[in-house]
């Protein structure tokens, strides 16, 4: 594989098939339990949302990497901050600059829209921590809390 043959796409409404392939990539890379995939209507809803950014790395017909980011309006300044919710590269294609290029593509998109900052989280001890250091990320010590919306009863 020649890395110059990889195409990087900012998904739009015409890319439902690519979005579904990205979701399947996440399932594989993150070793998630199988789950029912979102309906076509839901995929369209996601792609229509101007505050969600999907960027994929495509090699031939396969999605080999991608990210999902959400633009969040700031209370403190008149610009959005961008939270990278998911970033994954297929294991067979890691360490070839694809993850770095995905972040660069996101920076280009976000900065051209006037967004102020991009941020993400990584689990302590995860290989991704070294990757984020390498591409210029500045770590912050935070604790992540989760709250479920599932009702018990």
Residue 84: give its domain's CATH number.
Answer: 3.40.630.30
User: 59-62: long-range contacts (C-beta < 8 A, 24 or more apart)?
Assistant: 59/1, 59/5, 59/6, 59/7, 59/93, 60/5, 62/21, 62/90
Q: pLDDT class for 76, splitting at 50, 70, 90?
A: very high
Inside any domain, residue 75: yes
Range of the domain at 95: 3-120
The predicted pLDDT at position 78 comes to 94
Inside any domain, residue 143: no
Would the pLDDT of 125 be above 80?
A: no
Inside any domain, residue 112: yes
Only one residue has tokens 């070839």, namely: 96
Inside any domain, residue 146: no
Task: Kindly give the interhelix angle for 16-29 and 40-48, rounded to the nearest 10 degrees.
Answer: 100
Inside any domain, residue 116: yes
Residue percentage of the chain with pLDDT more than 90: 75
Give this prediction's pTM. Answer: 0.87
Using DSSP bridges, classify how beta strands 52-59 and 117-120 pair: parallel, antiparallel or unpaired: unpaired
Inside any domain, residue 131: no
Q: Quick one: how far is CA 19 from the chain centroid?
A: 11
3-7, 26-30, 103-107: lowest mean pLDDT where? Answer: 3-7
In 10 A of CB 26, how many CB atoms? 18
- How many domains is the chain partitioned into structurally? 1
Inside any domain, residue 72: yes
Provide the token pair at 34: 């199988």
Inside any domain, residue 142: no
């Amino acid at each position: 594989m020649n890395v110059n043959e990889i195409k990087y796409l900012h998904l739009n409404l015409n890319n439902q098939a690519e979005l579904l392939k990205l979701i399947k990539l996440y399932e594989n890379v993150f070793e998630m339990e199988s789950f029912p995939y979102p309906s076509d209507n839901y995929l369209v809803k996601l792609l229509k949302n101007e505050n969600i950014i999907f960027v994929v790395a495509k090699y031939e017909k396969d999605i080999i990497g991608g990210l999902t980011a959400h633009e969040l309006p700031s209370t403190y300044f008149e610009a959005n901050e961008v939270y990278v919710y998911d970033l994954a590269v297929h294991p067979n294609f890691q360490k070839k600059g694809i993850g770095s290029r995905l972040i660069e593509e996101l920076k280009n998109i976000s900065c051209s829209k006037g967004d102020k900052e991009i941020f993400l989280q990584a689990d302590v001890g995860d290989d991704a921590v070294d990757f984020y250091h390498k591409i210029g990320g500045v770590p912050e010590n935070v604790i992540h809390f989760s709250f479920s919306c599932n009702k018990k009863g």
